[in-house]
Homo-oligomer: A and B are copies of this chain.
Amino acid sequence: MITLFDLVVSGDRRPSPFCWRTKLALRHKGLVYVAEPVGFSEKDKIAFAGSTTLPVIRDDGRGGHAVKDSWQIALWLDEAYPARPLFGSASATSFARFVNGWADTAVHGALFPLVVADIHAHARPQDQAYFRDSREKRLGRPLEAAQAAARDGGLAVLRSTLEPVRRQLAGQPFISGDAPAYPDYILAGTVLWPRTISPLRLLDPADPLNAWLDRMLDLFDGLGRKAPTASS
């Protein structure tokens, strides 16, 4: 049994794009896990793994081996459990590594300020001061001011960062090819993030990426689709 330490906010919502990557990866591999909810300020729960960020996994079937960081977790899962690979070849690993770096910089760089005050509003009351303090240090201004500034044109910028994916999906059903694999889980986590804590509609209703997103939300018995949303 694997324990996934999973970011939790109000109403048991699970917003973290990085934890989503790991959840989708675990399900892809057919591995059973239990999700242990962790609030933004509960660093003590993951100190055993030498981590201050989520996700962390602990594999109780392997002596409680702990792995932190969604990318390292994905690599470790394919090594420890070779069946149903997330990558499957050196080239597929390079591909996923590139998409991981692209999502974390181009896409999240545009998305984070668009929803940062919404994340705060959804954080558990006991986590809000920690979240505000740490994120305002990063942004250099109040969360609400950062979000308001980002909403002035920032959504169009964010949507433009997804253009490589639109081109990709013009020729194939998934970012990874004919079937979903880790590159798809990376971007699905990104889309599930605002869906969970913000009224922001990341994709325009006419965006061809909606067809891909529908396929992603349906995977694993509707894991993404059934997850609590900002309005649920």
Listed in ascending order, the chain A residues whose CB lies under 8 Å from chain B are 88-95, 97-102, 104-106, 160-161, 163-168, 171-172, 175-178, 181, 183
Contact = CB atoms under 8 A, between A and B. Distances in A.
A183 B98 CA distance: 10
A64 B47 CA distance: 66
Contact of A177 (B91, B105, B164, B172): B91
Give how many copies assemble into the complex: 2
Given A105-B163, A106-B106, A91 B97 contact: no
A90 to B, nearest CB: 5
22 contacts: A89-B91, A90-B177, A90-B178, A91-B91, A91-B181, A92-B92, A92-B95, A94-B95, A94-B168, A94-B175, A94-B183, A97-B167, A98-B98, A98-B99, A98-B164, A98-B165, A98-B175, A101-B165, A101-B168, A104-B167, A105-B164, A106-B164
**Which among A91, A92, A93, A171 has the highest number of chain B CB atoms within 10 Å?**
A91
B106 A176 contact: no
Task: Give 8 closest A-B pairs by Cβ, nearest first.
Answer: A101-B167, A95-B95, A101-B164, A102-B164, A105-B163, A91-B92, A94-B177, A90-B177
A91 B102 contact: no
B91 A176 contact: yes
A164 B102 CA distance: 5
Residue from A89, A95, A167 whose CB has the most chain B CB atoms within 10 Å: A95
A175 B91 CA distance: 10
Nearest to A171: B97
Contacts of A160: 105
A97 to B, nearest CB: 6
Contacts of A100: 167
- Which has the most chain B C-beta neighbours within 10 Å: A94, A160, A168? A94
Nearest to A178: B90
Contact of A91 (B95, B101, B161, B167): B95
Contacts of A163: 101, 105-106
Contacts of A99: 98
